[in-house]
Amino acid sequence: MRVAVYPGTFDPITNGHLDILERATRLFDEVIIAVAEENYKYNLFNLEERTYLVKQACKHLGNIKVETFDGLLMNFVQERNAQAIVRGLRAVSDFEYEMQMAMMNKKLNTHVETVFLMSASKYSFLSSSIIKQVALLDGSIRGLVPVEVEKSLKNKYLEQFDNKEE
């Protein structure tokens, strides 16, 4: 059984992530989406919300599992007996960071491979931050994120706006 882990913060999941995930499910028998608990980043959505949105977005995929992880990614990968880590590469700018992570992960466990999938060109400019910025400023993010994410972003910013008004 070929098992891969697709890790990330997913704050929130975008169609770019989904594209990578769908392609990974065709290469592996099972793909475990590992939502990072703490990532030294400011997260708009908490872990429960991020995980819920990932689950909603992946309902149509059969051979996936959605889990959360804390601490070292490699420990999680080993505990799940996975052979690979999947990451998406969007542009040259991703390369340095991804190479550093892949090499460190290789140092931690030489038996686990990092498999890079090139982003579809129509999503190569996407990031969770840019989606959040456009949503905050009331721009359209239709077609770039799952419908549930679009709704949740709208609600989140309305909530924040209401709290400021009080």
- Separation CA 42–CA 40 (nearest Å): 7
Contact status: 88 vs ligand COA (CB under 6 A): yes
Least distance in Å: CB of 139 to ligand COA?
16
d(CA 43, CA 21): 21
Cα gap 20→154, rounded to integer Å: 25
Q: At what angle do helices 147-165 and 128-136 cross, to 10 degrees?
A: 50
Q: Which is nearer to ligand COA, 42 or 81 (CB)?
A: 42
CB 116 within 8 A of CB 36: no
72 binds ligand COA (CB under 6 A): yes
Among 24, 31, 66, 105, binds ligand COA (CB under 6 A): 105
Catalytically annotated residue among 50, 87, 119, 128: 128
In the chain, which ranges are E strands?
3-8, 30-36, 64-69, 84-89, 113-118
Interface pick for ligand COA out of 31, 58, 90, 112 (rule CB under 6 A): 90
Does the footprint of ligand COA cover residue 101 (CB under 6 A)?
yes
Q: Is 104 in the site for ligand COA (CB under 6 A)?
A: yes
User: Using the rule CB under 6 A, is 99 a contact of ligand COA?
Assistant: no
Contact region with ligand COA (CB under 6 A), list: 11-19, 45-53, 55-63, 155-163: 11-19
Per DSSP, 145 falls in state B
Active site residue 128: yes
| CA distance linking residue 148 with residue 16, whole number of Å | 15
Residues at the interface with ligand COA (CB under 6 A): 7-11, 14, 16-17, 20, 36, 39, 72-73, 88, 90, 101, 104-105, 119, 123, 126-129
